[in-house]
Amino acid sequence: MESVAMAPRPAVQNGNGSFNRRRLLKWASLAAAAANLGAGAAKAEPVAHVNDRPEDRAQTVSPLRKGMVGFMLAHEQFPVPELLDIGTAAAHAGFPLLATSDHLQPWQANEGHCGEAWVTLAALGRPAAGSWMGTTVTCPTLRYNPAVVAEAFASLSLLYPGRIFLGVGSGEALNEEAGTGEWPRWEERWDRLVEAIGVIRELWSGRPVRHEGRYYSVDAKLYDPPPQPIPLLTAANGRKSMRLAGLNGDGLITDPLTWKKFKSEWEGGARDAGKNPSEMPVLVEQFVVVGEENDAQQAARYWRFVPKAFKKYFNIRDPAAIQQTAEAEVPIEKITAEWPVSTDPSVHVKAIADLFDSGVTIVNVHSGQPDQKRVVEFYGSEVLPRLRHSG
């Protein structure tokens, strides 16, 4: 399959100006030089790391490519030990990408879990050898300082070179306000995100960074920078954020409806930043159910908030309050109507193929079913082979 090229990174922008342009130029050129990601990683000499064995090095060359199907590992719904088993099974079933949520609390109280995402990724990398791994998404602004995010993902990249991506977003109150007591207006949260992206990229360059910004002060150097540029994908869920994600990210993370409605805004932002959107990864999360309507309704109880997640519920910091409000406002049928629900492989193949046809490069399938093994095995045996054949 065709590799998704990494676009050259211009200065991080908020729509009105640039951020530390000269400091980012060299990093932008590095990203451009590694344009095909996996192919570039395959040619580069791997740095020494704790997994520096021939069989580990052989697993670093799978490109972040068009036509990729990922599997969502939801910390909200499953404990970390179980997620490790699910992720390992998904990698062995043929999923080339594993994405994790990064939360302090679940969206709804009945989901019942919320482990630490970076710990999960570090533990998963060896048994899931060969699969890309990353977060959808991390908020690098309040609960996490951007310098800490830069160091953590640089370290993950050293452990598993050529297999790590970072998804970032402006956050939710249930994580940021609950963990810090701070929850600024959206405009400030996005400005913080823009500045944080710049700090992360500067630190990843491996050079000393002396940054005095509006929100962050950094005087540091990463002594173990990533061996190659890490794809940094920016999440968006509305018209404004889609444009800003195009301006600032190497790629996009969104949902099917937002992609269909505001694709042109994202493409316009990317072009205004000097990037070619057709060469940038677009990851869309698609809920799926392997089963019948009763299976879908059971899964939807855990994800009832989804239709209003980024219209209303992202401003609520209490998972119990989100659950109570969603149960009162969102009919189950409204949720499941947007999901492919079937044991017929062709239904799932069509849903994913339609997204690919719309310009999506990575479809990240997410099932709220308690029986994740059923989903993994069905996709591994019935869906992924058909998609590979059709592609």
CB 303 within 8 A of CB 335: yes
CA distances from 357 to 57, 263, 285, 350, 352 (A): 33, 13, 15, 10, 9
In the beta sheet, which residues pair with residue 285? 364
Distance of CA 54 to the CA centre of its chain: 29
The question of whether 103 is a catalytic residue gets the answer: yes
Count of other CB atoms within 10 angstroms of residue 96: 22
Cα angle for residues 105, 192, 167 (degrees, 5° grid): 55
User: Measured between alpha carbons, how far is 387 from 349 in angstroms, rounded to an integer?
Assistant: 6
Burial class (CB in 10 A: 0-12, 13-18, 19+), 382: middle
Q: Which amino acid is at 239?
A: R
Q: Name the active-site residue from 76, 151, 172, 202.
A: 172
CB 230 within 8 A of CB 1: no
Q: Name the active-site residue from 49, 75, 76, 103.
A: 103
User: Measured between alpha carbons, how far is 37 from 32 in angstroms, rounded to an integer?
Assistant: 9
CB 203 within 8 A of CB 269: no
Catalytic residues, by residue number, are 103, 172
